[in-house]
Amino acid sequence: MSIVSSFTPRKGRNVELALVVGAVGIVLLAYLNVELATSGTIPPGTLTLVGGYLALAIGFHLVLRWRASYADPLMLPIITLLNGLGLVMIHRIDIANGKSIADGVALRQLMWTAVAMVIAAVVLIVLRDHRVLRRYTYLAGAIGFGLLLLPLFPVIGTSIYGSRIWIQLGPFSFQPGEVAKIALAIFFAGYLVQTRDALSVAGRKVLGLTLPRARDLGPILVAWLASLAVLIFERDLGSSLLFFGLFVAMLYVATERVSWIAIGLTLFCLGAYLAYLVFGHVQTRVLLWLDTFSPEALRASDQLAKGLMGMASGGMFGTGLGRGRPDLTYFAESDFIVPSFGEEIGLIGLFAIFMLYALLVQRGLRTSLGTRDGFGKLLAAGLSFSVALQCFVVVGGVTRVIPLTGLTMPFLSSGGSSLLANWTLVAILLRISDHARRPLPEANAPSPVAQARTEVVRLR
Amino acid sequence: MNAPVRRLSLVVAALFASLLVSTTLIQYVFAADLNARPDNRRTLLSTFARERGEILVGQTAVAKSVPVDDEYKYQRVYDEGRLYAHVTGSYSFFGASGGLEQAENALLSGSSDKLFYRRVSDLFTGRRAQGANLETTLDPKVQAAAADGLKDITGAAVALDPSTGAILAMVSHPTYDPNDLASHDLSEVDKNYNTLNKDPAKPLLNRTINELYPPGSVFKVVTAAAALSTGEYNENSMLPGPAVLDLPDTSADLPNHDGGACGSTEEITMTQAMAVSCNTAFAYLGLEIGADALQSQAAKFGFGDVLEVPMRVTPSSVPAELNKPQLAQSSIGQYDVRVTPMQMAMVAAGVANRGVVMTPYLVESVIGSDLSVIESASPQELSQAVTPEVAAQLTRMMEAVVEDGTGRRAQMEGVDVAGKTGTAQHGEGRKAHAWFISFAPADDPKIAVAVIAEDGGVAGSEAGGGTVAAPIAKQMMEARLNR
């Protein structure tokens, strides 16, 4: 390159601060909207609650200034807004269920938000360089698979509403799949960065597709079997799809071979079809998906139908926050929080929320592009893609794109484990983005080699 | 590894695009279908939350929505519920059932397209959407007189304004209290509904428009109209009136109800035959004019028409295929002739209105929540049943019934009343139904009435239309004429 890049990347911390304040402002308006629509008054605790949330977000922002000053400036405002809107909606459903702020789900969710933000900040402070994580590749793999399969073990594993994806430890119930997502992304990134050369070796060519060598099929088969185990024994299509989709996507990024995607999709469809043939609960899910309003489906569950009717009642502009009846749908504050938003802020509001997620994922992928090390690239791409895939699985489930699953919407849905995992996930992305955007020390002072004149050698 | 990451972002874009499409399909494209689903609780709740229009009789609301402090926001209240039960119907969380509540649900709930511009303006002014009010054609005095006359009698009474078709009274007994079906306690509504629905007396049934009865002798007005319309007969034509008419093609014969001949002479005038309700004379007349003439005359009075007033009226009928004995029976309103009280009121009203039958209607005007008139009824001609001349002759014949025939109990001081009694058999060993149709004043009709007391009412098997039904009709006519 003849032009030496010498600009200093903008840190964007002030932009981030302004956006965070704006995001909390939107949350405040949404909260007031709910209160005015439901009770007509502004409750006295408003300033404490919203002020507390603002303090948490600004605290996190200060941690970024301190420890990751070049981190992406959009991620924190986006998740601050999403998390805040989720809190407002959960509070709104508390009101509909006749619960006050003291005994509602929203306050617990706010506590979890605080815990999640603190843990994410600790991750940022402790994890000075994401490449450290590569050292723990196999430990992460063990933790990831362990967590994923943990609910299958007796005593601690709990089956809630048909899906065995919870573990119960005393009074705490925990959905380990969320944390497993991060651990597995670290494992896949570390593993694939080591083995990518072998895995991308060309094998036989079939129908214009260069297939990998048969002996390299081992890892994908292991991942496939594990995902099938999750599907069959935990009865959770969502986690299974998320986990396997993450693996295939990272495998593709690592090897640049489309054939891995083809193989992955084929395997997954095959596995899902076999599960459909064999297992009654999978058949019920498919019936609910394809023929939601048939009498047989409604007998099995009218949850999806209710969610769809809720969304339809919102229409283009929604009923307005606090003015719909999202509480008529079960799990309106967790699995079905997207229909709750669809009902009250309409199609337009939902689009805005989807755009926030898309923007978050795009910033993550941008981070992946900008990162110089392969491990960071893979990890950032994997984590970002997992967020996108999870959104797709959750929203696709409630809008009948795919069968309904039991996953939670990142940042929006009620649930502590989900918040912890996703804040930590974004903390890791922020750490990688800080690394990606931070100028190289040597780039500031042009190296002597760059200054030297090019010697032209005459050959003849 | 940058190229696959870029391609991965396309996959992400595709994933999100699919979500944009799916949500658009649900919240925009198919939203109306989903909202219209009968099991959609949100739609029900929002219809409840909207103030439903009132049903008015005169200036009084007989059905109104009163704000209450529960999930449903408004409670439907029926003052004088039992009196107007079959007119209003009821409205509960299970939906509108019967009467105007059901037939004009779209207007009352405010979802009708007729209210479209109002709804748009409500959207911009932020005013709470309201349903439209319905002003009925009912005359509360006539309605009360009918209910008072029927009292505990199982039966029905209906009154029409002959010149417009406006329904002045619509009473069906036994009745029920629509408030019992409008409670917000759903299990209570369910229980009350089941009790009413299982009651053998069928209180939920609107007998004026949805029950079919054999008309008996009141049908002779139709037979007479058919005969006069042929041009071969007039009110003074002489007809045989023996004690028993030998029916052709069968060994059976047709007797008069008292077993004797209709007059002291062998033949009597058609007017006399009408006055004493002579079975043999009208059976003879029917056989003479033929089934086609009888059927087409009935059709001209509205038999077979599907009317909506706006509640659907069960069509009355004369059987299509009639052999001679059946024709003879049909001519006196027996065999399989089946009528609603509304249909017989239309026959009386048609005669009263110089042969023109007006389409009956119950809603005078639709009034917006801002008291502006959205729609008002315009009387419509259903058919020209008979010529004015024939109508005049029929009127004189029916006057004779009241003056010195079977309908004397309908006589009114200073007003000429035209009427016809009927005693309709409906099965061996069962008491006959008592009928009376009439209109008054005969020279300038203001009201036409049909009354039926099932099984002859309380007076027992011997009571004909003249003793049980005629006094009720008289009470109703008096109420209309302020006497």
C-alpha A193/C-alpha A275 separation (Å) is 32
Among A256, A312, A374, whose Cβ lies nearest the Cβ of B26?
A312
- pLDDT tens readout for residues A284-316: 888 889 988 888 888 888 889 999 999 998 889
Specify the pLDDT at position B311.
92
Spell out the residues 6+ positions from residue B384 whose beta carbon is closer than 8 angstroms to its own.
B300, B355, B356, B357
Q: Which residue has the higher pLDDT, A285 or A3?
A: A285
Work out the average pLDDT over B389-411.
Answer: 90
C-alpha B441/C-alpha B454 separation (Å) is 27
- pLDDT tens readout for residues B422-437: 888 777 677 788 899 9
Work out the average pLDDT over A75-96.
Answer: 95
C-alpha A379/C-alpha A390 separation (Å) is 16
**Residue of chain A with shortest Cα separation from B37:** A309
**Cα–Cα nearest to A384, from B259, B115, B181, B8:** B8
C-alpha B85/C-alpha A301 separation (Å) is 39
Chain A nearest CA to B14, separation (Å): 10
Specify the pLDDT at position A444.
54
| Poorest-pLDDT segment among A267-271, A341-345, B218-222 | A267-271
Among A314, A315, A368, whose Cβ lies nearest the Cβ of B5?
A368
Specify the pLDDT at position B410.
86
**Whole-number mean pLDDT of chain A?**
86
Among A305, A365, A400, whose Cβ lies nearest the Cβ of B9?
A365
Measure the CA angle with vertex B310, ends B305 and B314; round to 5°.
40
Please provide the DSSP assignment of B87-139 as one string: HH-EEETTEEESHHHHHTHHHHHT-SGGGHHHHHHHHHHTPPPBPPEEEE---
**Residue of chain A with shortest Cα separation from B20:** A351
Work out the average pLDDT over B100-108.
Answer: 86
Is the per-residue pLDDT at A378 higher than 50?
A: yes
- pLDDT tens readout for residues A328-361: 888 888 889 999 999 999 999 999 999 999 999 9
**Residue of chain A with shortest Cα separation from B24:** A347
Is the per-residue pLDDT at A111 higher than 80?
A: yes
Kindly list the residues from chain B whose CB atom is less than 8 angstroms away from the CB atom of residue A248. none
- pLDDT tens readout for residues B153-179: 899 999 999 999 999 999 999 999 999
Q: Which residue has the higher pLDDT, B221 or A257?
A: B221
Specify the pLDDT at position B426.
77
For A199, the token pair is 């895995």
pLDDT-derived band at A369, boundaries 50, 70, 90: very high
C-alpha B95/C-alpha B101 separation (Å) is 9
| Residue contacts between A and B (CB atoms, under 8 Å) | 129
C-alpha B389/C-alpha B396 separation (Å) is 11
Specify the pLDDT at position B247.
79
- pLDDT > 70: what percent of chain B? 94
* Inter-chain CB proximity A312 and B11 less than 8 Å: no
Residue type, A190: G
- Report whether A204 contacts A211 (CB < 8 A): yes
* DSSP element (H, E) containing A221: helix A218-233
Measure the CA angle with vertex A222, ends A218 and A226; round to 5°.
170
Pairing state between β B418-424 and B433-440: antiparallel
C-alpha B354/C-alpha B334 separation (Å) is 27
Measure the CA angle with vertex A298, ends A294 and A299; round to 5°.
115
* Inter-chain CB proximity A293 and B37 less than 8 Å: yes
Specify the pLDDT at position A371.
92
**φ, ψ dihedrals at A325, nearest 5°:** -125, 55
Kindly list the residues from chain B whose CB atom is less than 8 angstroms away from the CB atom of residue A351. 20, 23
Q: Write down how long chain B is.
A: 483
Specify the pLDDT at position A442.
59
B376 included as an active-site residue:
no
* DSSP element (H, E) containing A413: none
Q: Find the Cα–Cα–Cα–Cα dihedral A112, A114, A116, A121, rounded to 10°.
A: -170
Chain B nearest CA to A361, separation (Å): 8
Question: What is the Cα A337 distance to its own chain's centre?
Answer: 15
Is the per-residue pLDDT at A1 higher than 50?
A: no
pTM, full prediction: 0.67
pLDDT-derived band at B419, boundaries 50, 70, 90: very high
Mutate to test the interface with B, among A317, A345, A350 (most CBs of B within 10 A): A350
**Cα–Cα nearest to A414, from A105, A178, A168:** A105
pLDDT-derived band at A187, boundaries 50, 70, 90: very high
* Inter-chain CB proximity B23 and A252 less than 8 Å: no
| Active-site choice (B97, B217, B277, B438) | B217
C-alpha A272/C-alpha A205 separation (Å) is 27
- Report whether B418 contacts B271 (CB < 8 A): no
- pLDDT > 70: what percent of chain A? 88
Specify the pLDDT at position B461.
42
- Report whether B293 contacts B266 (CB < 8 A): no
Specify the pLDDT at position B482.
81
**Cα–Cα nearest to B80, from B3, B127, B153, B138:** B138
Mutate to test the interface with B, among A97, A311, A344, A353 (most CBs of B within 10 A): A311
Among B12, B25, B42, whose Cβ lies nearest the Cβ of A385?
B12
**Residue of chain A with shortest Cα separation from B7:** A253
Specify the pLDDT at position B462.
46
For A113, the token pair is 């938000």
Rg (CA), chain B: 27
- pLDDT > 90: what percent of chain B? 43
Kindly list the residues from chain B whose CB atom is less than 8 angstroms away from the CB atom of residue A361. 12
- pLDDT tens readout for residues A395-406: 999 999 998 887
Chain B nearest CA to A29, separation (Å): 20
* Inter-chain CB proximity A256 and B27 less than 8 Å: no
Task: Supply the ipTM of this predicted assembly.
Answer: 0.90
Spell out the residues 6+ positions from residue A319 whose beta carbon is closer than 8 angstroms to its own.
A313, A343, A344, A346
Chain A nearest CA to B3, separation (Å): 8
Please provide the DSSP assignment of B323-391 as one string: -HHHHHHHHTT-TT-BB-HHHHHHHHHHHHTTTEEEPPBSEEEEE-TTS-EEEE----EEEE-S-HHHH
Chain B nearest CA to A395, separation (Å): 7
Kindly list the residues from chain B whose CB atom is less than 8 angstroms away from the CB atom of residue A384. 12
CATH code of the domain made up of B210-363+380-480: 3.40.710.10
Residue type, B269: T
Kindly list the residues from chain B whose CB atom is less than 8 angstroms away from the CB atom of residue A357. 16
Among A311, A377, A392, whose Cβ lies nearest the Cβ of B1?
A377
**φ, ψ dihedrals at B134, nearest 5°:** -115, 125
* Inter-chain CB proximity A256 and B3 less than 8 Å: yes
* Inter-chain CB proximity B42 and A313 less than 8 Å: yes
Max mean pLDDT range (A54-58, A314-318, A407-411, B86-90): A54-58
Chain B nearest CA to A312, separation (Å): 4
- pLDDT tens readout for residues B329-381: 888 888 889 999 999 999 999 999 999 999 999 999 998 877 788 888 899 99
**Cα–Cα nearest to A177, from A159, A150, A155:** A150
- pLDDT > 90: what percent of chain A? 45
**Cα–Cα nearest to A148, from A235, A243, A241, A219:** A243
Q: If interface means Cβ-Cβ distance under 8 Å, which residues of chain B face chain A?
A: 1-6, 8-9, 11-13, 15-16, 18-20, 22-28, 30-35, 37, 39-43, 45-46
* Inter-chain CB proximity B19 and A309 less than 8 Å: no
**Whole-number mean pLDDT of chain B?**
87
Q: Where are the domains of chain B?
A: 210-363+380-480
Specify the pLDDT at position B257.
72
